[in-house]
Structure formats: C-alpha cells, structure tokens
Amino acid sequence: MEKRRYIFNNSLYDNQKSNTEQVFDVAVIGGGMAGLFAALELDERYKVAVFVKGRLEDGSSFLAQGGMCCVLGADDSFEEHIADTLCAGASHCNEQAVRVMVKGGPESVRKLIDYGVHFDMDDDGKLKLTREGGHGKRRILHCGGDATGREITKALGNSVMARKNITVFWNHACVDILTDERGVCGAVINDGVSDFVVRCANIVVATGGAGQLYRYSTTPEGNTGEGIAACKRAGCELADMEFVQFHPTAFAIHAEGERVFLISEAVRGEGAILKNKNGESFMSFPGQHPQKDLAPRDIVTRAILAEMRRIGDDRVYLDTSVMTKEFFEKSFPTITAKCHENGIFPPNDLIPVHPTQHYLMGGVVTDLDAKTKVEGLFVCGEAACTGVHGANRLASNSTLECVVFAKRAAEYINRNPRKIPDKAELGEKTAYSITVEKSEIFADMQKIKAVMTEKVGAERKIENLLAAKNELSELYEKYCDVNFENRAGYALFSGINTALDIVNAALSRRESLGSHHITE
C-alpha cells in the first residue's frame, strides 16, 4: 500500500535553491526527555539542532506524573526489576534490552542530577522510593510528588539552552527524513508556515507515540505518530505496533476532545483501592490477579472494563482513604488540584476513573544503541521499539528507557562521527496536485479517532479490526496524491499510516497477548 516516499509540499523543489539550508552535525527531533537528554550527551564539538514541535510543556514527557524506575534500595536488585519488567511485558520483551535499560538506571539518574534534576528525598535525606503497579519493590523516583515529567523536562531544557553548541527551534516539526545511498543526509522541517531543508549527518528521532489517533487519550495534542511514519518512509522497520497501552485510571471527568487527565499509578502504589459504585473492592474478588490493585496495567484495565459492564456504569472509583489529607496533597499536588477543580476532595471523596489510551509499546525497530537500519538514523523514547516493554509496559519504565537509550545513541554518535553530506537529496520532483481544505482534513482526523476508539481499543474483535482496515485504507487512497499545504495535512497522512500499521499488526496477531486482547 505504501506509495509515497515523501510528503513535503511540492514547492520545496522550486524553492530549495533560494532557501538557505540549515547545516548541523546532528538534528534531534523532539523536545521531551529522550530528545533533550540525547542532545546533552552529544559531544560539544558537534553542532546540534533540537526541533521542538511546540513548546517544552506541550509534550508527553512534561505531562508524566509517574516517576522513573531505578534500582537503588538495599532490598532491591537488578534481577528483580528485570523479572518484573519481563512479567509485565507478558514475556514478549527483548531480555537483553531490558538488562541494558535496568543496569543503565543508576548512571542515568546520576546524570539527571548533574543536569539539575531534584528528585524527592525522604526524611533521612535519601532519594525517596515509591511503588507502582507490577513492581515487587519500591524503586520509583519522583520529582515534586506527581510532577516528575515536568521537573525533569524543565531541568533538561534549561541545560540544553545553556549549551553553546545546541540551537533550539521552537514550533518546528519534522515532515520528512531525507536519505541517500549512504544513509541520512537531512530532513525537511516545517516552521509553522513553510518547509525548509536541514542538511545533517545524523538524526535522533524522539517524537513520542500516537495517542491522539484515539478520541480519548492522556497524551497531548499532536501525538499522532508523525515521527514513526517519517522513519518508516525513510526505510525503517516497525514492530509491536499492535501493543497499545490503556492506562486503567484516567480521570473520568473530561470534556469531549479534551486530553484526559491521568491519575497516576503511584496513587495505588501508596495504598489506594479500586471500587465500584457499590463500594466493592473488585480487584479482590476471587479469580483476580494476586497483585490485586497493583497488577500490570493491561490486567487492571480489562478488570475495570469487565466490572463496568457487570455493574452498568461508565467508571469505577479510587478510594484513597488509607492516606491522610496532608500526605495525599503533598504526594500528589497536581492530582489534588485537578480533583479540587472538579469538586472532589480526596481522601474523603472517591476519585472517578476509567481506562484511557496512554502509550504505544511498539514503534521503530532499534538496536541497543538506538540505531535503526538506516545509517545515521536513531530513535529514542516512545517512538522506538527497543523491545523493553514487550506486550505491556511496566509503570515508570518509559522515562528510564528514554534516558538510557538516548544516552547510548549519543555515545554511539560520539564514537562514530559521520561527515555532513554535501547535498540533502530530495529525490525526483513529485506531481501531486490535489489540494484539500483544512476543514476536510480536520473532519477526517476525527474519523481516524472514531475508528481507532471504536474498533481498535483495549478489547478487540477480528471483524472490527477488518472493518477498521477498510475504512483507514479508503482514507489512505483519498490522500495518497494530495499536495499537502500545512501541518494538519502532514499530521493526518502520517496518522492514517500509523493507524493502519497498528491495525495490520493487530490482525497479524490472532491470539491475545498483553495489551493486545482479542475477544469473541
């Protein structure tokens, strides 16, 4: 079905000579934890560009409430963290990659502290460790209680902006990755108005996942799989795209089309219990997982969906009464504020929650150094498929994956410098002439969200997946010959492709595994 190598606007061919090329040793695409950490770990002899689609606070990393895993406790071990990760991943993980991630934790945390990250401390002045679902031990670091992503991203952003060799481009999005016979030779970037060419020797893609292909998601606007799609068009392989994680406890009060607020798994880690509207602790019912409320996310999600059907409700509730008011507010200030805005006052009040799309386990296939099959192209964070998450991500492993593999990507580039190519090859001029109104593009993005929400959710039927494939294929054919004129068009076409990749992968796996659950 793939018919297009590039999606940038036709006018770029005519304007290339008149436009001044930007030239860098390394282009980092994405301003979250993975992208910023990679930029900082690159040797300062390199001229580095960081392209951020919006602002730092617009990305998934900034929103992360959960913490970062790291084996630091005296009663913990690398082997136990590895075992918990493999178990949560339904034994579908790449064990070698898991070992690299887990063992790289302590050094990465030390680096983060060097870059100005202030992790929460306990009363003894030691790093405070908490527990989340699927973890057998307390090994989760937090910043500002439930503001870990915000604090880490801000600290890394400040360090990046202080580096003389790094230039940050705000409100710049990657459209295409350019390659020649030797590998990466550049990228096409959109500055919000028009496209321009960046010539570079290496590209690190850290653009996040594809949550906004669903109607309801905890991920921010713009999270539509564009980086993944660009890498695929450049010749990269994708894997595990069928594994889409639904977080069991997203806040059940939200407006239509609004990003859904997350109630961190750390709340259950501190003793909160899931209950139905009758006050029953259903995760303790016979036949449920032995870890009950702290079972892996896919298991808790399906248990909640089953309970909502059984009881006839569209939500369940978190009972936080095991905590004092002071403890809850200090540990979860962001969640406290959101609850108060909606007239809910934990721990006295129950918090309404339901499962919502949260994370993509699959992505662009990489090796242990975040390298893809395209020379000079690296992928880190949620856009990558390192194999560490398997069929279901263990809580707070995503932030650890970001920094460990971003560091390894930078170290590989430092050891293996590539010469900046003399030319950024655009290929043959296309003849795309069809144009589409922005209103139609918006309407078709809503179609994607409807298809994915209704037919490719946490529970799936083969007949629904086949119907989803047909609907998405029709959209692909509609837009395959369009000359895109704005970012909305780029996002739509990449979204169609990424959604199809998820559906096709789901159809290829007819048995249930982890987050990919087939029903009758």
Q: Check: CB of residue 313 under 8 Å from CB of residue 354.
A: no
Q: Order the strands of the 316-319 sheet from edge to edge.
A: 244-251, 351-360, 316-319, 273-275
> Within this chain, do residues 66 and 107 fall inside the same structural domain, yes or no?
yes
Q: What is the pLDDT of residues 32-86, one digit of tens each?
A: 999 999 999 999 999 999 999 977 776 677 677 778 999 998 899 999 999 999 9
> Within this chain, do residues 489 and 476 fall inside the same structural domain, yes or no?
yes
In a domain, 515, yes or no: no
CATH value at residue 221: 3.50.50.60
Query: What pLDDT was estimated at residue 342?
Result: 96
Identify the DSSP state of 260.
P
> Within this chain, do residues 478 and 444 fall inside the same structural domain, yes or no?
yes
Q: Check: CB of residue 135 under 8 Å from CB of residue 394.
A: yes
Q: Give the β-pairing of 377-379 and 195-205.
A: parallel
Contacts of 215 (CB under 8 A, 6+ apart): 257, 449, 450, 452, 453
> Within this chain, do residues 146 and 18 fall inside the same structural domain, yes or no?
yes
In a domain, 432, yes or no: no
> Within this chain, do residues 62 and 119 fall inside the same structural domain, yes or no?
yes
> Within this chain, do residues 204 and 307 fall inside the same structural domain, yes or no?
no
DSSP for 370-391, written as a single string: SB-SSTTEEE-GGGEE-SSSTT
> Within this chain, do residues 367 and 340 fall inside the same structural domain, yes or no?
no
In a domain, 3, yes or no: no
Q: For the chain, how are helix, strand and coil distributed in percent, rounded to 5?
A: 40, 20, 45
Q: Which two tokens stand for residue 138?
A: 């307390």
- Our count of domains for the chain comes to 3
Q: What is the pLDDT of residues 353-370, one digit of tens each?
A: 999 999 999 999 999 999
Any bridge partners for residue 29, and if so which? 51, 205
In a domain, 303, yes or no: yes
Contacts of 286 (CB under 8 A, 6+ apart): none
Task: Give the sign of the dihedral formed by CA 31, CA 33, CA 38, CA 39.
Answer: positive
In a domain, 6, yes or no: no
Query: What pLDDT was estimated at residue 59?
Result: 66
Single out the residue in 380, 415, 450 at which a domain terminates.
415
In a domain, 513, yes or no: no
> Tokens 């449920």 belong to which residue?
288
Q: Check: CB of residue 322 under 8 Å from CB of residue 305.
A: no
Contacts of 228 (CB under 8 A, 6+ apart): 207, 209, 210, 238, 363, 364, 383, 494, 498, 501
The Cα 11–Cα 487 span in angstroms is 15
> Within this chain, do residues 316 and 171 fall inside the same structural domain, yes or no?
no
Going residue by residue through the chain, which has 520 residues, state the pLDDT in tens, using 9 for 90 and above.
567 899 999 888 877 655 668 999 999 999 999 999 999 999 999 999 999 997 777 667 767 777 899 999 889 999 999 999 999 999 999 999 999 999 999 999 999 999 999 999 988 888 999 888 789 999 999 988 878 888 999 999 999 999 999 999 999 999 999 999 999 999 999 999 999 999 999 999 999 999 999 999 999 888 999 999 999 999 999 999 999 999 999 999 988 778 899 998 889 989 999 999 999 999 999 988 889 998 888 899 999 999 999 999 999 999 999 999 999 999 999 999 999 999 999 999 999 999 999 999 999 999 999 999 999 999 999 999 999 999 999 988 999 999 999 999 999 999 999 999 999 989 888 778 899 999 999 999 999 999 999 999 999 999 999 999 999 999 999 999 999 999 999 999 999 999 999 999 999 999 999 999 999 7
User: Residue 96 is part of which domain span?
Assistant: 11-241+361-415
Query: What pLDDT was estimated at residue 124?
Result: 85
Any bridge partners for residue 460, and if so which? 518
> Within this chain, do residues 219 and 88 fall inside the same structural domain, yes or no?
yes
Q: What is the pLDDT of residues 202-242, one digit of tens each?
A: 999 999 999 999 999 999 888 999 999 999 999 999 999 99
In a domain, 324, yes or no: yes
In a domain, 157, yes or no: yes
The Cα 48–Cα 33 span in angstroms is 16
Any bridge partners for residue 250, and if so which? 262, 354
> Within this chain, do residues 237 and 259 fall inside the same structural domain, yes or no?
no
Residues classed as catalytic: 297
